[in-house]
Structure 1
Amino acid sequence: MTITTAPAVEAFDRALGDPGEPDGVFSYARCNELDKAEAFPDEICALLNAQGLQRHYVPEEYGGALGEVPVVLELLRAVARRDLTMAIGHSKTFLGAVGAWVSPTDPASQEMARQVLEGAAISSGLTEQAHGSDLVSGQVRAEEVPGGFRLTGEKWAINNATRCRTIAVLARTGDGPRGFDVLMVDKTALAPESFRCLPKFRTHGIRGANISGIVFDNAFLPAEARLGRPRTGLETMLKGLQLSRTLCSALSLGPGEHALRLVLEGPGPGAPPSGSGGRTGGAERPEEARTLADAGADHLLNEAAAQVGCRGIHTFPQETGVVSAVLKYLLPTRADRMIADLGRLLGTRARLVDGDLDGRFQKLARDHRVVGLFDGNTLVNLNMLVNEFATLARHAEAPYDEEALRTAADPGRPLPPLNLAALRLTTRAGSSVLRALPDLAAAVAGTPAGPLAARLLGQYRRLVAELAEHRHPGLKVPRHVFAQADRLTLCWAGAAVLAVAAHAAPPEGDPLWADGLWQRAALGRVLAALGEPAERPAGQDQELVRALRDRLESGRSLTLMPHRVAEGVTR
């Protein structure tokens, strides 16, 4: 949790109402009803717009409230903690509009800002059924004609394609990778016969989301519909995806926290005894405590990585390509495993559509499996990291900006202004967070986390030696190369944990920070995933669970820097 954003996030969450109250607009019960009906949550969407969430998708220079990326992360996380369908359905406007900020072109950017601020839904028309994530092979074509373009073709699996007003369409206007433009397609301005929306797709998770497609038939667009310079559409979209992939962290942190809360709260009336899953009176058996502690450590690991990544957009924006790929791969992957582990702890109760958990666990588990698929799936993000191997290895020992790293890791520090013009498709010197790992390990050498940090540094140095020998395999990437990319994401996340530990001021008297408790637990999870499990001190699991439960029972978020939440409290 970013310290300076806590009051705003608390006020926003409180304005959405207590989700435990069944009659509330944005209650767990209402979200469950909408999920069963496979209905889009229009009333909840209106509530979010009334609270001004859409303003945080628009930069301040265009009249919006987007000044600090971590604020957007926390607001979306608050929504995703309640319901992932709503978080995905609303936040897709950010991806649809972001090209207007990455490659600003007046008056198109001003018009995009006006629509978003008014609460219009914006979609991103990237994918096509025949090509999936291979954007370069896209065949939707925009022919330049006097006064504008004629758009023809089909975009497929588009979030909000039917209900949105405007779609930012990646269309082919020439040949090769430089033959694309992003066109702002306002459906209300099109001739009715020039487009049609496809039926809503039925999905296993996020059942109420409006995922469909759209077909254009010689649709006329004015020349000012083009965003950015001619033939830079692919670059615009790829830079925009760097931002949206980073913010997708909220879509894993929210459900992860929801799952943890459900298990920490324990069984409700009529639930089975502890041996069938759940707890009794707050006392877990050792294996239950270990599962809960591992889940909590994974959640805090994800949070540290997301916070450093989001703040890093301000402090080292030129590295966002690497960081966004790390986060978009690592967080959905680890959160899926964490939720599955917690489900096994709950037993049958995790699968029930109704029952004492009101179907909440099975819904969030279903919904979250979708997060790893959009805005670039798992293999897409790993492949992006593979493309950076040579640069990361070559600059592994290069200097880094210590002040920029400190600002990225310390949530109490003010951030420099957001500079989207500094985004780059590829990095020039790899990752500052990784280059800082030797210094970060040295900084904690005399603490309880020191031995774990030293082992992580050893793992990273072995990986760098492997990457230095890497030769790009071409189109067919061997499995072991993807495994190296996976290890790279773990080393980056471990370094993010150490950066937060070294630079953030812990909340006074917080047991989660005492003796480096959460850092030790998170680093232990990283090392275990790297194949080098560490022994955990006696009682560490129980201490971590107690610290998390204390947050829950005092009405605070399950975060490193806790804030008040709208859920009912016991004290």
Structure 2
Amino acid sequence: MSLPPTAGSEAALDAALGDPEETARLAAQRDLAEAFPAELCARLDAFGLPAHYVPTEWGGALDDHERLLRLWRTVARRDLSAAVAHGKTYLGAASVWVAGNAEQATRTAATVLSGTPVAWALSEPEHGADLLNGSLTATRHGDGYRLDGAKWPVNNATRAGYLTLLACTGAPGTARGHSLFLVDKTDLAPGTWRALPKVPTHGIRGIDISGIGFDGARLADATRIGPEGSGLETVLRALQLTRTLCATLSLGAGEHGLRLAARFTATRIIQRQPLIDRPHPRSILTRCAALLAATECAALLGSRSIHSLTGEMSVVSAVVKSLAPTLVDAAVAELAELLGVRSYLTTVHEHGAFQKVARDHQVVAIFDGSTPVNRSALVQQFPRLARRLATGSHDTDGLAEAAAVGKPPRPLDRTATTLLSPQGCSTVQSLPALAETITRHAPTGLAEHATALRDTTAELGRRMAQVRPASLPPMAAHELAAAYELCFAGAACLHLWQVGAEGHHGEPLWQDGLWARAALRALRTRLAEVLRTPPPSAAPGDEHIDGPLAHTVAEAALSGAPLTPFGAPMPQPFHRPEAHT
């Protein structure tokens, strides 16, 4: 049965999810009971969200990954657990869209559109993210394969009807030693497979984090996705899509946490003065809002790059996947300071929503390759990235499309994904030209931040060029990768500010480049910490950022207005707490 079509808008999905206050209350109850978010997932099915997991060529609505990112963000800012539970189906099906044949794609599309979950079975108890050495085997048997072994932990392993499963079909530890299979549980003989129990987790408590074991389960040859031995390559290509979109989980969690803290800071009065009127709380709120804005820009540019800079996604996906949870974890930790003990309470303040956000979000850094895994993948491309950065070469047209937020993208050519980016990363490599352009018309302070970021990035490129290739990169190389992520975020902020400033004229966050100046200042400060260089010099007007941005964010948190430059409002009615002492 096909799900109803949708307009695909954030506003329509927000309306379908109902009152945010009631959503928060129910999410808190589910969390305490460690209950699966079945009711909320049913609402997402009824809305038609699964259609956005299926490309249009197979009957779905997925033709724009920016739209999918925004839809997921809408769910994640309500309940990150529900976003993780429901969105896993896209992750599970992505390998089929990348390398499956027409019959496999048609079957998977029908499954997804029916609302049946699809899981991605990669991890194993003894190997974790070491996909090269997975020990679950698919041994040739007649005209098919025999499965033996286990996958664990896997999101939706028990609830899923389909699995895309990575199995060893050749020599373990080799690039061509694994193949990917599309497994329909209903095709497996009873007694040849078993569900492994749900694992108790610190965050996302109600999610089906479980596993599946096989003992002589038979698969037809037609279930193999792509040629034998191509499984790892297919997974890595699919990860370029899924890693990028994982940033939306961080965006939703960060927005939820920022809204809670901003509301409290605006209404908490101590000694007859609101917290927001005190310099320290105001600076924390500003810095966290700035980091969230930077995360948003990197995620939006990354999601649009899937279409217009497809050949660069091996770099972009690793950068965005590492950057987003890192910045949001840092912001959530600082926001907890503003809330004090309320950040730990499970029921007393705002239904205990903040501590749930903090716990739930900690797992995002692990999804689809942990932060060290993604930074290691980035380090492997340092030689080419350093050379391209030195020349400043970049795909001007592709980058312009990536920065055109809200506009329909070009159709995605999935065959254009590559394991290594031949062009490097246009977003970072464009910084010299971008800084020169911005100095001609940027508001006070932004030009200086852009120039300083350009110079820091050039120095970073020189350091990257000195890193020698190694299968296990040293920690110093990982720190350079972390710095590269921050440079990407800064360049994304500048590109999106430059393209969007005119269309957002008069909006408080955009006044005099407020959000962009704050974001660049925060990113440059983190860059100095990562690179162990002196704190960055202040730009003109930096001293006038904290007050306006903190009050703008606080008012938005109370009224339901967008908290970020490209965000969406929360639906009404919206609970507005009274000021209290």
Q: Distance in 1 between matches of 2:63 and 2:273?
A: 45
In the alignment, does 2:549 pair up with 1:551?
A: no
What is aligned with 1:33? 29
Equivalent residue in structure 1 for 2:477, among 477, 481, 488: 481
In the alignment, structure 1 residue 525 sits paired with structure 2 residue 522 = yes
Matched with 1:421 is 415
Residue in structure 1 matched with residue 256 of structure 2 by the alignment:
258
Aligned AA (2:91)? L
Q: Residue 20 of structure 2 aligns to which amino acid in structure 1?
A: P
Between stretches 401-410 and 515-524, larger displacement belongs to: 401-410
SS in 2 for 1:184: strand
Residue in structure 1 matched with residue 361 of structure 2 by the alignment: 368
1:133 has 2:136 as partner: no
State the alpha-carbon separation in 1 of the partners of residues 207 and 562 from structure 2.
26
Cα deviation code 1:455-501 (max 9, x no counterpart): 111111111111222211332x2221111111111111111111112
Q: CA deviation at 1:174?
A: 1.5
Residues 119-130 of structure 1 aligned to structure 2 (within 5 Å): 119-130=115-126
Q: 1:482 to 1:54 in 2, by over 3 A?
A: same
Q: Which has the larger displacement, 349-358 or 60-69?
A: 349-358
Question: Are the aligned partners of 2:276 and 2:550 in contact in 1 as well (CA < 8 Å)?
Answer: no
CA–CA distance in structure 1, aligned partners of residues 536 and 277 of structure 2: 23
Q: CA deviation at 1:561?
A: 2.8
CA distance in 2, matches of 1:503, 1:418: 22
- Alpha-carbon distance change, 153 to 123 in structure 1, aligned in 2, over 3 angstroms: same
CA distance in 1 between counterparts of 2:36 and 2:303 reads 29
- C-alpha separation between the residues in 2 aligned to 1:155 and 1:412? 39
User: How far apart, CA to CA, are the structure 2 residues paired with 1:6 and 1:298?
Assistant: 30
Count of aligned positions = 556
Q: Decide whether the 8 Å contact of 1:89 with 1:210 is kept in 2.
A: yes
Select the residue among 213, 217, 220 that pairs with 2:218: 220
Matched, 1:461 2:458: yes
| Deviation of 1:281 (Å) | 5.3
Residue 504 of structure 2: which of 504, 507, 513 is its match?
507
- Return the letter of the residue paired with 1:495: A
Residue 471 of structure 2 corresponds to residue 470 of structure 1:
no
Match of 2:325 among 332, 336, 351: 332
In structure 2, the CA distance between the partners of 1:282 and 1:303, relative to structure 1 (3 Å rule), is same
The corresponding residue for 1:313 is: 306
Cα RMSD after superposing both structures: 1.9
Classify the secondary structure of the residue corresponding to 1:248.
Answer: helix
Q: Give the AA of the match of 1:70.
A: E
Letter in 1 for 2:107: E
Supply the distance in 2 between the matched residues of 1:512 and 1:385 (Cα, whole angstroms).
33
Please say if residues 505 and 511 of structure 2, whose CA atoms lie closer than 8 Å, have aligned partners that are also in contact. Answer: no
With over 3 angstroms needed to count, the CA separation of the structure-2 counterparts of 1:398 and 1:230, relative to structure 1, is farther
Q: Which amino acid aligns with 1:41?
A: P
5+ residue gaps, structure 1, are: 22-26
Which of 440, 452, 457 does residue 434 from structure 2 map onto?
440
Q: TM-score normalised to the size of structure 2?
A: 0.92
Runs of at least 5 residues in structure 2 that lack an aligned partner in the other structure? 1-5, 529-534, 577-581
Query: d(CA) in 1 for partners of 2:265 and 2:543?
Result: 27
Counterpart contact for 1:267–1:280, Cα < 8 Å: no
Over residues 409-450 of structure 1, what are the superposed CA-to-partner deviations in whole Å (9 max), with x where a residue is unaligned?
A: 121433111221111111112100011010111111142201
For 2:132 and 2:567, how far apart are their aligned partners in 1? 43
Q: Please tell me the residue identity of whatever aligns with 2:12.
A: A
| Alignment correspondent of 1:349 | 342
CA distance in 2, matches of 1:71, 1:524: 29
| Whole-Å separation in 1 of the counterparts to 2:483 and 2:167 | 36
TM-superposed CA distance for 1:116, in Å, is 0.5
User: In structure 2, how many angstroms separate the alpha carbons of the residues matched to 1:467 and 1:281?
Assistant: 46
The alignment's TM-score, normalised by the length of structure 1, stands at 0.94
Cα–Cα, structure 1 residues 19 and 569, in superposed 2: closer, same or farther, change >3 Å?
A: closer
2:265–2:554 contact (8 Å) kept in structure 1: no
2:42 is equivalent to residue 46 of structure 1: yes
**SS of the residue 1:542 aligns to:** helix
Shift of 1:555: 2.7
| One-letter code aligned to 2:522 | R
